[in-house]
Chains A and B, each alone.
Chain A
Amino acid sequence: MPKATALVVDTLTSQLDVLQNEWLSELKKQGTGADHRISESELAQQGRELLQLLSAAVATGTDIQEEPWRAVRDFLDRLSRSRAQQGFTSNETATFVFSLKRPLFSRIRAAAKDAASLGDATWAATELIDALALHTVATFQKSREDVIARQQEDLLELSTPVVKLWDGVVALPMIGTLDSARTQVVMESLLERIVETGSEIAIIDITGVPTVDTLVAQHLLKTVTAIRLMGADCIISGIRPQIAQTIVHLGIDLESVTTKATLADALALAFKRSGLAVTRAKTA
């Protein structure tokens, strides 16, 4: 286990208050807290807590993945998560840790007796703070990714509403890009609804699908086939002119599928197939 040079340990443990004050003024100079997203007292308190944890852990070594550093890591995890929620950028979050460098180096320089020990101590301190900042950014990134993943999941749920248009006619207005995962969800919810409602006609409206490539077409065909296997009919509607051109240029075979330009046309066809007719009410 690499030992931090005695000078760094000494500086961190004995000069806590000086370090904290200098760090805080350094942070202010760089503009952290200037936009009032985080208050000065909160910033000071976070700095103090981190320095205390740091001084407790640094005596045991400088590998921050080791057990004695757990408290520091946990603190940084909490910190970067709250920073991510408050809308700080990853730069700003990393700067919080990096800005400790200047005060720490100046304290070390004041305490160093010769050039060699100054060099060693500076290097050890740099490595330590870099590791801490990297850890902070990694956690920051991860919490942002968690947010994205959760939103994606929400979107998946929201974007596949199966609506009943008429007795025996269900429709699925599809919005957004179709990938394998979404097709699976779409297919399942549509088939479930067909069984639930006993619908013989299902309309898939792709007005909201921005592009259709071979993969999307394949997903569509799979869904159509599954619907047919269940014993219902499928109509695809909402094919925009550009998409019709793309489909033909790509050589995708949609011959076996009933397609209509608009949802209204599809509904009219569904009515016709179920033997229904829409008539205008007689005005008195």
Chain B
Amino acid sequence: MDRIPILRMGEFLLVTIQVDMHDQLALTLQDDLTAAIQRLGAKGVLIDISALEMVDSFIGRMIANLSRMSRILDAHTVVVGMRPAVAITLVELGLSLAGVETALDVERGMRRLRASVGESGASIVDLGE
């Protein structure tokens, strides 16, 4: 597998990392995701890392970067399903991923995305009236 699929769900993008990341895969994902947000005008990105079992400092930083890049492109990003072992590893590596929004699972992450887009969406409707 040389690419991680990016799925479109309405105005959101769903990225599910199912394999252990290697550095090249991570860089490709960065390119693909930023391009997809731009092309599809996505309002939110959900990154599901529940299948990710091993992380190193590079992957940890990559997750943080993905989230920041998406925010710059005006897509709200939530990282969901981080495993306990991964969380402990990141903390021990000194990566606290400040500014990255997290949620326990896809369900809760989706709710959060809808809530945040709902807020901004409502204001657009108000303007239109």
Could you list which residues of chain A lie within 8 angstroms of chain B, going by C-beta atoms?
184, 187-188, 191-192, 194-195, 198-200, 222, 225-232
Could you list which residues of chain B lie within 8 angstroms of chain A, going by C-beta atoms?
79-84, 86-88, 90-92, 96-97, 102-105, 108-109
Tell whether, in the assembled complex, residue A192 and residue B84 are in contact, meaning their CB atoms are under 8 Å apart: yes
Give the secondary structure class of A's interface.
Answer: helix
Tell whether, in the assembled complex, residue B104 and residue A198 are in contact, meaning their CB atoms are under 8 Å apart: yes
A222 to chain B, nearest CB (A): 5
- Asked, given contacts A225-B91, A225-B96, whether A231 binds B84 with beta carbons under 8 Å apart, the answer is no
Chain A residues near B96 (CB-CB < 8 A): 225, 228-229
- Cα distance A232–B112 when bound, in Å? 13
User: What are 29 inter-chain pairs, A to B, with CB distance below 8 A?
Assistant: A187-B84, A187-B88, A188-B84, A191-B88, A192-B84, A194-B84, A194-B104, A195-B84, A198-B105, A199-B104, A200-B104, A200-B108, A225-B91, A226-B87, A226-B90, A227-B87, A228-B102, A229-B82, A229-B87, A229-B91, A229-B97, A229-B102, A230-B82, A230-B102, A230-B104, A231-B81, A231-B103, A231-B104, A231-B105
B54 to chain A, nearest CB (A): 15
Q: How many A-B residue pairs have CB under 8 A?
A: 55
Q: Can you name the residue of chain A whose Cβ is closest to the Cβ of B78?
A: A231
Chain A residues near B88 (CB-CB < 8 A): 184, 187-188, 191, 226
- Cα distance A256–B87 when bound, in Å? 18
B63 to chain A, nearest CB (A): 10
Chain A residues near B82 (CB-CB < 8 A): 229-231
Chain B residues near A191 (CB-CB < 8 A): 84, 87-88
Closest 3 CB pairs of A and B: A191-B84, A231-B102, A231-B103
A169 to chain B, nearest CB (A): 13
- Cα distance A200–B103 when bound, in Å? 8
- Cα distance A231–B50 when bound, in Å? 12
Tell whether, in the assembled complex, residue A222 and residue B103 are in contact, meaning their CB atoms are under 8 Å apart: no
Chain B residues near A199 (CB-CB < 8 A): 104
Chain A residues near B92 (CB-CB < 8 A): 222
- Cα distance A5–B103 when bound, in Å? 79
Chain A residues near B103 (CB-CB < 8 A): 231
